[in-house]
Chain A
Amino acid sequence: MNNPHHLNPTSLKSRFTTRFLRALTKIRAQKPISSSSPTEIFRRYRRIKVAADKSMAYSVRSRRIWSRAMLWKLRSRSYRRQDPCSGRRSGKTSQAIMKKSSNENTTTRREDGVGFVEEADELRQLVPGGETMNLCNLLDETAHYIKCLTTQVQVMKKIADFYSF
């Protein structure tokens, strides 16, 4: 039961855990838990999901394309929420940036000479920011994304188990 080897405090898991727990406390502090109507729960669910994605993206910083794309998405969404007109602006800029980056990678229809176009496109939709990646980078990002998702699921499972014993 004793854990002689404590987790590395700078590992992805610990970074994500601290951030996510902080976000969770904030969310719980905002609303009283007594009201458990479905709408309330749904609203809280959305906030928790966003908090999970955000804390994961912040734990990875900008080292990965998918984390950068996810942070972009979250920021533009939050801007849009706060101020509709500024949201338009940020929406435009984000669109411009996405277009520019996709133009840098020439064609959107990527026939890379290997025959995985449909699967690659599906994968691009799953991985955030995947549209602007060629197959090589896409596989890289997918590997890291899978690793981060598994840590996320592990930590959230433990938290959920802890609170629903």
Chain B
Amino acid sequence: MESNAGATETRSNVTVSDGGEVAALESLQFTDEIHRLISAPATDNASSFTALLELPATQVVELLHSPESVKLIVASAPNVEDFKGSFHFPSNTGLIQKDARFSVFSGEGNNKNDKSNSPEMTSKNSSANLEKAVKSEPAETASSLPLVSDPTVENRNIKRKDREKKVKGSTKKSKPATNESLEDAEKLPYVHVRARRGQATDSHSLAERARREKINARMKLLQELVPGCNKISGTALVLDEIINHVQSLQRQVEFLSMSLAAVNPRIDFYLDSSFTSESGSTMDGGNFPSLVTPLMWPDVQVNGYRQQFQHQWHFDTLKQPIWGREEVCNNYVTPENSLLSYDSSANSATLHANQLKMEL
């Protein structure tokens, strides 16, 4: 039917010219389109994946058959040299299902460069690159159209994975464009993992690499937060430092709450607004006597400050309801009552609050 016709069409196309390059060309054409598709809905979340799926529906069906066509070519065509690496093309069908979730789209740029060198590179690398190319297109469709994988394909899968793991191990240390990929992982809500050149494009390794980069970024932030962590190298020790810091902070909170419970308040709590206005200024012990003194001789100060604090009548609205509450607390309201008795009572209240503000 249609699919067979399509397969035969592509097959005939491919057998006419060089197989590997045509596959690369086909994939090149589609990668451009896919690039455009990706760049448009880049801000979407997971829905972008389905959006990408819907749009190139017809082309996708064609693409779907390109690996199958290559499979047929491998079986029929005697051009062994070009297809030295293509023995692993069929394995794509099995891997594509796994790869569907991880968009290798952003790796297109690298793939293009690699594909141009593919004929000259070793079979291992060429297979990896061409697989990248072919994998990237059907990757979108795999989730919607399940592909059949042969048992022979699975065997090749395993062999290829082993070799890729070796590749991954050897090239793990080289990290070109690390920052770029880190930015990609951090900026976009949809994780576009850049498959670095020469590194494994295994879906698991890609996901792991993305996660590791995220974790490393967060560890750096934590190192900045915790004092004394910048000099330590080695993430386990840094984590130990972080744990110690959190424990010490929790203990400090407990200790402070104990001291707050034990202390006898001499001045009562009407300091909400004044406390909220405190910034990082330190509180010295020397400031406190000046806090106490306004209570003693407020009239002199009040007359002096009356004009200054006229504009802060808004404090009254804050103060009065709190005042009403504090009336319930018996003994400690007397200084405030004495303050209230003065005709400029509101001003004295604001004065006190402002004094506190300034000290704090």
Given the complex of chains A and B, what is the CA–CA distance between A113 and B215 in angstroms? Answer: 12
**Contact among B221, B240, B247, B357 with A143 in the assembled complex (CB-CB below 8 Å):** B221
- Please determine whether A44 and B261 come into contact, CB atoms closer than 8 angstroms: yes
- Please determine whether B358 and A1 come into contact, CB atoms closer than 8 angstroms: yes
- Please determine whether B260 and A48 come into contact, CB atoms closer than 8 angstroms: yes
**5 A-B pairs with least C-beta separation:** A119-B239, A139-B218, A45-B261, A44-B261, A149-B249
* Residue on B nearest A33 in the bound complex, by CB: B264
B163 contacts A by Cβ under 8 Å? no
B27-35, B114-122, B276-284: which lies at the interface: B276-284
B73 contacts A by Cβ under 8 Å? no
Given the complex of chains A and B, what is the CA–CA distance between A96 and B231 in angstroms? Answer: 43
- Please determine whether A162 and B240 come into contact, CB atoms closer than 8 angstroms: no
- Which chain B residues border A127 with CB–CB below 8 Å? 246
- Which chain B residues border A145 with CB–CB below 8 Å? 246
B1 contacts A by Cβ under 8 Å? no
Given the complex of chains A and B, what is the CA–CA distance between A147 and B221 in angstroms? Answer: 12
B13-21, B129-137, B166-174, B267-275: which lies at the interface: B267-275
Given contacts A156-B253, A156-B260, contact A6 B279 (CB under 8 A): yes
A122 CB to closest chain B CB (Å) equals 5
- Which chain B residues border A147 with CB–CB below 8 Å? 225
The interface bits of chain B over 322-337 (1 if a CB of A lies within 8 angstroms of the residue's CB, else 0) are 0001101100000000
B26 contacts A by Cβ under 8 Å? no
- Which chain A residues border B242 with CB–CB below 8 Å? 123, 142, 146
Given the complex of chains A and B, what is the CA–CA distance between A162 and B291 in angstroms? Answer: 10
| Tally of A-B Cβ pairs under 8 angstroms | 162
B101 contacts A by Cβ under 8 Å? no
Question: Which B positions have Cβ atoms within 8 angstroms of A?
Answer: 208, 211-212, 214-215, 218-219, 221-222, 225-226, 235-236, 239-240, 242-243, 245-247, 249-250, 252-254, 256-269, 271-272, 275-279, 281, 283, 285, 287-288, 325-326, 328-329, 357-360
- Please determine whether B276 and A136 come into contact, CB atoms closer than 8 angstroms: no
A59 contacts B by Cβ under 8 Å? no
- Which chain B residues border A139 with CB–CB below 8 Å? 215, 218-219, 221-222
The interface bits of chain A over 119-154 (1 if a CB of B lies within 8 angstroms of the residue's CB, else 0) are 110110011000000011001101101110110110
- Please determine whether A122 and B243 come into contact, CB atoms closer than 8 angstroms: yes
**Contact among B250, B283, B359 with A126 in the assembled complex (CB-CB below 8 Å):** B250
- Please determine whether B272 and A22 come into contact, CB atoms closer than 8 angstroms: yes
Given the complex of chains A and B, what is the CA–CA distance between A25 and B260 in angstroms? Answer: 12
- Which chain B residues border A1 with CB–CB below 8 Å? 287, 358-359
B75 CB to closest chain A CB (Å) equals 39
- Please determine whether A143 and B262 come into contact, CB atoms closer than 8 angstroms: no
A63 contacts B by Cβ under 8 Å? no
**Contact among B243, B247, B254, B275 with A17 in the assembled complex (CB-CB below 8 Å):** B275
Given contacts A6-B277, A146-B225, contact A165 B288 (CB under 8 A): yes
**Contact among B245, B256, B269 with A157 in the assembled complex (CB-CB below 8 Å):** B256
Given the complex of chains A and B, what is the CA–CA distance between A53 and B258 in angstroms? Answer: 14
A105 CB to closest chain B CB (Å) equals 14
- Please determine whether A123 and B236 come into contact, CB atoms closer than 8 angstroms: no
**Contact among A28, A161, A164 with B269 in the assembled complex (CB-CB below 8 Å):** A28
- Please determine whether A158 and B260 come into contact, CB atoms closer than 8 angstroms: no
Given the complex of chains A and B, what is the CA–CA distance between A139 and B243 in angstroms? Answer: 11
